[in-house]
């Protein structure tokens, strides 16, 4: 994993240097369940922020070690698509609630329209007026430094309550968070509205894994999260839900810029 990750960090860093200062670099990282896309996305985000901190520390204009100036804001932010799961209450309101709950994680159990709305806001070059009407689904907070930028909030997913948590991931305006890493199983899907969101990305990365490796990882994950009580139950869920979703993801995969191979090495141990 390390060599692939290093190359990806270098590619993203060079690409961000070519971007206009008021525009974010949006990166989509997709893959089937159990591919290791979360591991890759979080590692990429951390390494980009580490490079930014190192670059700032060695810059001639950076403050001295004794200066009280604050550290530079992180340049990269990470958004998992999990926050766009339909809530359990929304699943129960669907025409076939039993199937909806059993197939949670399937494409129809996500709020793709809300995800597309987020990507459109992230893609916008300039902040929208502060006095414009705001929808109930959107929370935008003015930046405290008076720069005119605005913070955009994305939802996260709380596994303890098994539901999304609204407005819990802040995306700061440039020059902070000029790189946004968006990760999820449907971010590269050739189906509306995921396709429209993917078309706004600057870099599309697919994490490739063999089915058996993914299955083993999913069994471990379901047992650890309490989704399944036994290994047999975890394996059944992996085969009848997760890997079924994975087949559709591979079948409807959009053209990508980079493929990362997920293997059973140390770097992917927590995938």
Strand runs (DSSP E) across 32-171, as ranges?
76-80, 140-142, 150-158, 163-171
Sign of torsion, CA 13 15 19 25?
Answer: negative
Cβ density class 46-58: b for 16+ within 10 Å, e for less: ebbbebbeeeeee
Sign of torsion, CA 220 221 222 225?
Answer: positive
**62: region left, alpha or beta (phi > 0 left; psi from -120 to 50 alpha):** beta
Strand runs (DSSP E) across the chain, as ranges?
25-31, 76-80, 140-142, 150-158, 163-171, 179-183, 203-208, 258-261
Topology of the domain comprising 2-268: Rossmann fold (3.40.50)
Which pair of tokens denotes residue 40? 């890759």
| 3-state SS assignment for residue 270 | coil
Supply the pLDDT for residue 2. 85
User: What's the pTM?
Assistant: 0.86
Write out the H or E segment, with its range, that includes residue 232: helix 231-237
Mind listing the pLDDT tens digit of every residue in the chain (271 residues)? 789 999 999 999 999 999 998 899 999 999 999 999 999 999 999 999 999 998 876 555 555 555 555 667 899 999 999 999 999 999 999 999 999 999 999 999 999 999 999 999 999 974 443 343 444 344 433 343 334 478 999 999 998 899 999 999 999 998 899 999 999 999 999 999 999 999 999 999 999 999 999 999 999 999 998 889 999 999 999 999 999 999 999 999 999 999 999 987 656 544 4
CA–CA distance, 6 with 12 (Å, rounded to integer): 10
How many Cβ atoms sit within 10 Å of the Cβ of residue 137? 13
Partners of residue 258 on adjacent β-strands: 205
Q: Where are the domains of the chain?
A: 2-268
Strand runs (DSSP E) across 51-210, as ranges?
76-80, 140-142, 150-158, 163-171, 179-183, 203-208
């Amino acid at each position: 994993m390390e060599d692939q990750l290093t190359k990806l960090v270098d590619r993203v860093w060079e690409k961000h240097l070519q971007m206009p200062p008021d525009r974010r670099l949006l990166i989509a990282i997709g893959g089937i369940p159990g591919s290791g896309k979360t591991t890759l996305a979080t590692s990429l985000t951390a390494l980009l922020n580490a490079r930014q901190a190192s670059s700032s520390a060695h810059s001639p204009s950076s403050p001295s070690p004794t200066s009280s100036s604050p550290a530079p804001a992180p340049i990269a932010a990470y958004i998992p698509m999990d926050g766009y799961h339909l809530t359990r209450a929304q699943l129960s309101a669907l025409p076939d609630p039993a199937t909806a709950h059993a197939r949670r994680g399937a494409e129809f159990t996500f709020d793709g329209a809300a995800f597309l709305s987020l990507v459109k806001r992230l893609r916008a070059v300039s902040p929208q007026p502060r006095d414009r009407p705001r929808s109930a689904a959107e929370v935008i907070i003015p930046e405290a430094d008076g720069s005119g930028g605005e913070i955009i909030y994305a939802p996260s997913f709380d596994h303890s309550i098994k539901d999304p948590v609204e407005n819990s991931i802040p995306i700061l305006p440039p020059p902070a968070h000029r790189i946004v890493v968006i990760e999820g199983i449907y971010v590269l899907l050739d189906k509306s509205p995921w396709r429209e969101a993917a078309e706004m990305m600057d870099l599309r990365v697919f994490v490739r894994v063999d089915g058996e490796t993914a299955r083993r990882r999913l069994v471990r994950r379901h047992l650890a999260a309490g989704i399944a009580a036994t290994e047999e139950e975890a394996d059944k869920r992996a085969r009848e839900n997760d890997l079924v979703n994975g087949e559709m993801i591979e079948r409807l995969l959009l053209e990508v810029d980079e493929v990362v191979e997920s293997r059973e090495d140390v770097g992917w141990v927590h995938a």
